[in-house]
Amino acid sequence: MDSASFHSANVPVSGEATSHQQANCHACVFKAQCLPAELDGEELADFERAVLHPPRPVKAGQVLVRKGDAVHALFALRVGSLKAVINAADGAERVVGFRYPGAVIGLAESGHKVWARTFVTLESAWICRIPIDALNHTLRRQLVHLMSACLRREYDHHLTLAFHTNAQKVASFLLEISEYRQRRHLAAQRFTLPMSNLDIASYLGMRHESLSRTFGTLHSRGLFYKSGKRIHIPDLEALRALRSE
């Protein structure tokens, strides 16, 4: 497994799960990096039992749920990545979030009847269904923990979007992923971005031209290198300094 990538090299790009693929996936399912990092010990064990249902494979670019769909289940993202999008008034798609392995999809939906956002896979993924009926008392307790962590992240995003320059937004974005990977003991300085620059720019509230220019600036300052979708951050501290300048 390529530890510098978001997904296992063994994950099939499409098709039904074969017994071999299923085995591969189950091997991964129980790795720490595929489970919520906010829970630990007994809580994590409880949570695992609840999402034991075998994950199903989802092809890249697929819509997992669409805004307006009835909420029948939440989802646990085990392998791959997603983007959360909202259609703006002008019909344009706006990215409001990314999700990586270990995320629970639908925290903002657990008290509602319909989905408020559309979730689209950025690459081939493995995803567990958590039926709403399965939300017993124990699981709801874990859910409260996950949601409060999610809320805190959103307040950080508020700060970033409201007060940072474009360069700082990009630094924040890169560090957010890097720190996510660090918590899961994955390579934090070299990894692949699963999303396009268009998506990143939308997420950060900038034009993709500005993002491209910002990447160029960071490159010339030696803070960040990008080749295709693979990136390299030589000095995390320098990037952190830029973020909080």
- Residue closer to a copy of itself, measured from CB, 43 or 60: 43
Distance CA 55, CA 17 (A): 9
Q: Looking only at residues 77 through 136 of this chain, which bind a copy of itself when binding is defined by CB under 8 A?
A: 84, 86, 88-89, 94, 96-97, 107-112, 116-117
Q: Does 179 bind a copy of itself (CB under 8 A)?
A: no
Closest CA to 233 of 198, 200, 191: 191
Q: How far is the CB of 199 from a copy of itself (least distance, A)?
A: 13
Q: Does 149 bind a copy of itself (CB under 8 A)?
A: yes
Q: How far is the CB of 245 from a copy of itself (least distance, A)?
A: 8
Distance CA 202, CA 212 (A): 13
Q: How far is the CB of 241 from a copy of itself (least distance, A)?
A: 10
Distance CA 181, CA 185 (A): 6
Angle between helices 166-183 and 208-220 (to 10 degrees): 70
Enumerate the β-bridge partners of residue 95: 85
Q: How far is the CB of 124 from a copy of itself (least distance, A)?
A: 26
Angle between helices 197-204 and 208-220 (to 10 degrees): 100
Distance CA 201, CA 211 (A): 6
Picked from a copy of itself, DNA, none, the partner binding residue 108 (CB below 5 to 8 A depending on kind) is: a copy of itself
Q: Does 173 bind a copy of itself (CB under 8 A)?
A: no
- Residue closer to a copy of itself, measured from CB, 43 or 48: 43
Task: Give the CA count within 13 Å in the CB-facing half-sphere of 189.
Answer: 9
Distance CA 185, CA 10 (A): 20
Picked from a copy of itself, DNA, none, the partner binding residue 86 (CB below 5 to 8 A depending on kind) is: a copy of itself
Q: How far is the CB of 204 from DNA (least distance, A)?
A: 8
Contact 35, 48 (CB under 8 A): yes
Positions in the binding site for a copy of itself (CB under 8 A)? 38, 84, 86, 88-89, 94, 96-97, 107-112, 116-117, 137, 140-141, 143-152, 154-155, 157-159, 161-163, 202-205, 244-245
